[in-house]
Chain A
Amino acid sequence: MSVNLHIDGKSIDAAEGQTVLQAARAGGIYIPTLCDFPGLPSHGSCRMCIVEVQGRPNTPTACTTPVEDGMVVTTDSENLRALRGDVLRMLLADHPAACLFCPENSNCEECMVTIHKAGVTTGCRSCPADGQCTLQEIVRKSGLDKTAYPVRYRALQIEKEDPFFDRDYNLCVLCGRCVRACETRHFSPVPTQVRRGSETRIGTNFGLSHLEAGCSFCGACVDVCPTGALWEKTNKYDGVPDGEAASACPFCSLACDIHLAHKDGMVIGALPATDSGGLCVKGRFGVPETVNHPDRLKQAFQLEDGRATRIGMEEAVQLAAQKLAGCQPDEFALAVSADCGSEELYAAALFATRAMADAPAWLVSSLPTGEQGEAAARLVKTSRPAAEIDSADLVFCLGLDLKYRQSVLETQLMRARERGAKLITLNAGEHIPGRFADLWLCPPAGEEAPWLDALAEEKPENDKIVRAQAMLKEARRPVLLVGSDFLRLFPEEVERLQAATGAAVIALPADGNLTGVTRVDPSGKAAGPQPRVLLLAGAAIPDELKPETYIIYLNTHTPRTPIQNGLILPAAAFSEMAGSLTSQDGRVKLREAAVSPPGAALPGWEILARIAREMGRSGFDFTGAEEIRAAMSADPPVLDGLTATPAWLPRPAEDDFMGAPLADWVEGLRDLTLEQVREAQYVPGA
Chain B
Amino acid sequence: MAGLERLRCAAETRWKARVQGGRPVIYVGTASCGRAAGALETLQAVRDFLEAHSISAEVVEVGCIGPCYLEPLLDVQLSEGPRVSYANVTSDKVERILSANLLANDLLPRLAKGHFGGDDFTGKTGIPRFFDQPMLKPQVRIILKNCGLIDPQDFDGALANGAYQGFERALALGTTGVIDELKEAGLRGRGGAGFPAWKKWQLTQAAAGNEKYVVCNADEGDPGAFMNRSLLESDPHGVLEGILIGGWAVGAQEGIIYTRAEYPLAVERLNTAVGQMRSTGLLGKDILGSGFDFDIHIREGAGAFVCGEETALIASLEGRRGTPRPRPPFPADHGYHNRPTLINNTETFGTVPAILREGGAWFHQYGTPTNPGTKTFSLVGKVRHTGLIEVPLGITLRQVVEEIGGGTRQRLKAVQTGGPLGGCLPADRIDTPITYETMRELGSIMGSGGLIVMDEDTCMVDMARYFIHFARSESCGNCTPCRNGTRILSDTLEKITRGEGEESDLEILERAAHTMTKTSLCGLGQAAANPVVTGLEYFREEYEAHIREKTCPPAVCTDLFEYVILADRCNGCDLCRDACKTHAITGGPREPHTLDTSLCVKCKACVRVCARRAIVGVPIKIQVADLEEAAV
Contact = CB atoms under 8 A, between A and B. Distances in A.
A91 B483 CA distance: 9
B480 A149 contact: no
Given A59-B518, A149-B508, A197 B473 contact: yes
A560 interface: no
Given A87-B519, A94-B484, A149-B508, A44 B325 contact: yes
Interface in A30-83: 44-47, 50, 58-61, 64-66, 83
A91 B508 contact: no
A94 B487 contact: yes
B253 to A, nearest CB: 24
A66 B520 CA distance: 18
Interface stretch (B55-63, B243-251, B490-498): B490-498
Given A47-B519, A150-B508, A152-B487, A198 B473 contact: yes
Nearest to A175: B480
Interface in B471-521: 471-481, 483-488, 490-492, 495, 508, 511-512, 514-515, 518-521
B511 to A, nearest CB: 6
Contacts of A59: 518-519
Given A45-B479, A45-B480, A66-B328, A90 B521 contact: no
Contacts of B490: 198
Given A47-B521, A61-B326, A150 B492 contact: yes
A199 interface: yes
A196 B476 CA distance: 5
A90 B326 contact: no
Nearest to A192: B321
B472 A150 contact: no
A195 B473 CA distance: 9
Contacts of B481: 47, 87, 90
Contacts of A200: 475-478, 483
A66 B512 CA distance: 28
Interface string B457-471: 000000000000001
Interface string A80-117: 00010011001101100000000000000000000000
A176 interface: yes
B187 to A, nearest CB: 23
A65 B521 CA distance: 12
Which of A58, A149, A152, A193 neighbours the largest number of chain B CB atoms within 10 Å of its CB? A149
A10 to B, nearest CB: 24
Contacts of B514: 86
A196 B488 contact: no
Contact of A90 (B471, B475, B485): B485
B323 interface: yes
Given A90-B485, A149-B488, A196 B480 contact: no
B573 interface: no
A638 interface: no
B483 A44 contact: no
A630 interface: no
Interface string A157-178: 0000000000000000110100
Nearest to A42: B326
B78 interface: no
B306 A196 contact: yes
Q: Taking each of A45, A193, A196, which has the highest tally of chain B beta carbons within 10 Å of its own beta carbon?
A: A196
B326 A198 contact: no
A677 interface: no
B486 A150 contact: no
Contacts of B477: 174, 193, 195-200
Contact of B480 (A46, A152, A197): A46
A148 B511 CA distance: 10
B471 to A, nearest CB: 8
Contacts of A64: 325-326
B483 A58 contact: no
A673 to B, nearest CB: 33
Nearest to A46: B480
A564 B487 CA distance: 69
Nearest to B475: A197
B479 A193 contact: no
Nearest to B507: A148
Contacts of B511: 86
Given A148-B508, A196-B306, A198-B490, A174 B519 contact: no
A563 B508 CA distance: 73
A90 B480 contact: yes
Contacts of B600: none
A150 B483 contact: no
Contacts of B321: 192-193
Contacts of A152: 487, 491
B610 interface: no
A50 B471 CA distance: 23
Contacts of A197: 471-477, 483, 486
B304 interface: yes
Interface string A136-163: 0000000000001110100000000000
Contacts of B306: 196
A163 to B, nearest CB: 27
Contact of B475 (A46, A47, A150, A198): A198
B340 to A, nearest CB: 17
A150 B474 contact: no
Contacts of A50: 519
Interface in B494-551: 495, 508, 511-512, 514-515, 518-521, 526
Given A196-B477, A197-B472, A198-B475, A44 B521 contact: yes
Contacts of A173: 480
Nearest to B470: A197
Contacts of B515: 83, 86-87, 90
A196 B475 contact: yes
Nearest to B488: A149
A176 B478 contact: yes
B521 A196 contact: no
B521 A45 contact: yes
Contact of A196 (B304, B328, B487): B304
B478 A193 contact: yes
A467 B477 CA distance: 46
B472 to A, nearest CB: 5
Contacts of B526: 58
Interface string A442-453: 000000000000
A142 to B, nearest CB: 14
Contacts of B483: 174, 197-198, 200
Nearest to A85: B515
A44 B520 CA distance: 10
Nearest to A86: B515
Contacts of A86: 511-512, 514-515, 519
Interface centre among A66, A90, A91, A197 (most CB of B within 10 A): A197
A156 B515 CA distance: 27
A198 B486 contact: yes
B221 to A, nearest CB: 12
B518 A58 contact: yes
B472 A198 contact: yes
A5 to B, nearest CB: 15
25 contacts: A44-B326, A45-B480, A47-B479, A47-B521, A50-B519, A59-B519, A61-B521, A86-B514, A91-B480, A91-B484, A94-B487, A149-B484, A149-B508, A150-B508, A152-B487, A152-B491, A174-B483, A193-B321, A193-B478, A196-B304, A196-B474, A198-B487, A199-B477, A200-B475, A200-B477
Given A83-B518, A198-B486, A200-B475, 11 more contacts: A64-B326, A65-B326, A86-B515, A90-B481, A90-B484, A94-B487, A149-B512, A176-B478, A193-B323, A193-B477, A197-B475
> 4 closest Cβ contacts across the A-B interface?
A200-B477, A198-B487, A64-B326, A90-B484
Interface of A: 44-47, 50, 58-61, 64-66, 83, 86-87, 90-91, 93-94, 148-150, 152, 173-174, 176, 192-193, 195-200
Interface of B: 304, 306, 321, 323, 325-326, 328, 471-481, 483-488, 490-492, 495, 508, 511-512, 514-515, 518-521, 526
